[in-house]
Amino acid sequence: MNRSLDALDVNDRCWVKENKVTGYPMLEKLRKQLQQLTPQRLDHIVMPEAAVLLPIVERPAPTLLFTRRASHLSTHSGQVAFPGGKREPFDSDLYATALREAEEEIALDPALVQPLGRLSDVISLHGIRVTPWVGIIPPDLPLIADPGELDAIFEVPLSHFLEDHRTHTDVITVDGVAHYVPSYHLDGHVIWGLSAMMLVELLAEGFGMPIDLYQRPQGPLRHHPERKNRLSTPSTTVSSSAPSRSNQ
């Protein structure tokens, strides 16, 4: 991992190609799809930066790893998020940010993460640009949740999301534009907001399962108060939720 993933563009993917995953069909498909992806980058927008890691656990039936923020926190307590947080001045790039935060939050050894690529930048309504990274990690690692930040680490089979077992849809309206974001309730955990929007892109780009965030779906809706976008960039994706540790 001597080379920065942040520096890769559509014509420069050899380093990622050399990181081979196992023969598990779902993971091999994901690797190939992310090699071809040109994610939306919002580097031109000057604002605080954060990064998260979407850790996919290398199992015959792969799982996606999530965290839940501790209930004693004053902001975003109990929310489900991917490991991640704000970029620090000493981080060499945003991939380094994601790895550092994952190590701090869940004791994930950065050397064990096999990077697959990045997804599109998103901007929270708190004015933070968040870059998601996708990586493969070995199964059954001795991960430990930082009790000052988290109260749970859990996995969900990717197949659960590929079948779209949403409980309801959150309607998040920004500047008059409604975003229909799936919400998943699993064993007391609720996956919604920014984490769900990142998940939607992973499903669409990695597994060919597009979910239209601008088309009203069937099923129950939960409406949230309308928000104003802090930016004038019309193409920017804005969410009402935030990654763990990124808004403190």
Considering the domain boundaries, does residue 219 fall inside one? Answer: yes
Considering the domain boundaries, does residue 18 fall inside one? Answer: yes
**Which tens digit of pLDDT belongs to each residue from 188-227?**
999 999 999 999 999 999 999 999 999 999 999 999 988 7
Residue with tokens 């050397």: 111
Q: Model-level pTM?
A: 0.84
Query: 51 pLDDT exceeds 80?
Result: yes
Q: Contact 119/169 with Cβ under 8 angstroms?
A: no
**What pLDDT shows up at residue 126?**
81
CB-count burial class (<10 Å; 0-12, 13-18, 19+) for 48: middle
Q: Contact 216/113 with Cβ under 8 angstroms?
A: no
Query: 7 pLDDT exceeds 80?
Result: no
The CA distance from 7 to 224, in Å, is: 37
Most confident of 41-45, 52-56, 217-221, 231-235: 52-56
Considering the domain boundaries, does residue 245 fall inside one? Answer: no
Considering the domain boundaries, does residue 198 fall inside one? Answer: yes
Nearest to 84 by CA among 105, 111, 112, 56: 105
* Domain range enclosing 115: 5-236
Query: 43 pLDDT exceeds 60?
Result: yes
**What pLDDT shows up at residue 228?**
74
**Which tens digit of pLDDT belongs to each residue from 151-201?**
999 999 999 999 888 999 999 988 889 999 999 999 999 999 999 999 999
The CA distance from 46 to 66, in Å, is: 28
Considering the domain boundaries, does residue 189 fall inside one? Answer: yes
**What pLDDT shows up at residue 246?**
43
Residue with tokens 């942040």: 6
**What pLDDT shows up at residue 242?**
40
More confident residue, 23 or 29: 29
Residue 131, helix vs strand vs coil = strand
Residue with tokens 């930082």: 146
Considering the domain boundaries, does residue 103 fall inside one? Answer: yes
Query: 24 pLDDT exceeds 80?
Result: yes
Banded pLDDT at 21 (limits 50, 70, 90):
low
β-strand 221-223 against 168-174: which pairing, if any? parallel
Question: Element (H or E) spanning 66, and its range?
Answer: strand 63-69
The rounded percent of the chain whose pLDDT value lies above 90 is: 67
**Which tens digit of pLDDT belongs to each residue from 79-92?**
999 999 999 999 99
Considering the domain boundaries, does residue 29 fall inside one? Answer: yes
The CA distance from 247 to 36, in Å, is: 32
Low-confidence winner among 146-155, 176-185, 238-247 (lowest mean pLDDT): 238-247
CATH number at residue 208: 3.90.79.10
Query: 8 pLDDT exceeds 60?
Result: no
Cβ count within 10 A of residue 59: 17
Mean per-residue pLDDT over the chain, rounded: 85
The CA distance from 209 to 201, in Å, is: 9
Query: 95 pLDDT exceeds 90?
Result: yes
Considering the domain boundaries, does residue 165 fall inside one? Answer: yes
Bridge partners of 124, per DSSP, are 239
The rounded percent of the chain whose pLDDT value lies above 70 is: 82
Count of the separate structural domains present in the chain: 1
